[in-house]
Amino acid sequence: MPALTPVFAVASALDAAPVIQVAPAPATPLAFVGTFLAGWVFFAFTAQIAASYVLEDPPWRRAVVVGLVPAAASTALIRFDPLIIVAVGLAADAAAIHLIYGVRYRTTAVMVAIHYAATLALVLLVANLLALLSTAPG
């Protein structure tokens, strides 16, 4: 029988390795509140970014109120499919922006798109930084 090349040897060793699955810890009320508060601050910050881009001089207090809505939606729907969370979050965000800022529907759509893009960009930045820091030696 011919010897395995190094690539096939590694591949067959990986196939034989046991699969490790991590079970999530049960959520505590403190974890629930902490997740909601962190999401609220994050969504309020990105709502202010979106409002500043579209409106001339938006008050930051309105962004704080708008940030509550997607934070509550994402925290309440945490056990659902991510597509459901995004769809409900975007719809709730649009309703909150339209009601809080009192803008037209077209402006609301632009603000929601910018809010989503800013949120996604910052989430990816933080996730990649955490992944990079987790690989640091020591």
pLDDT, tens digit, for every residue of 34-68? 989 999 999 999 999 999 999 989 999 999 999 99
Query: Mapping DSSP to helix (H, G, I), strand (E, B) and coil, where does residue 109 land?
Result: helix
Query: Mapping DSSP to helix (H, G, I), strand (E, B) and coil, where does residue 77 land?
Result: coil
- DSSP-based helix, strand, coil % in the chain, nearest 5: 75, 0, 25
pLDDT at 32 over 90: no
Give the tokens for residue 50: 């979106």
pLDDT at 64: 96
Give the tokens for residue 124: 């990816």
Calpha distance 114→107 (Å, rounded): 11
pTM: 0.76
The more confident residue out of 1 and 124 is: 124
Structure confidence at residue 31 as a pLDDT band (50, 70, 90): confident
50 near 67, Cβ under 8 Å? no
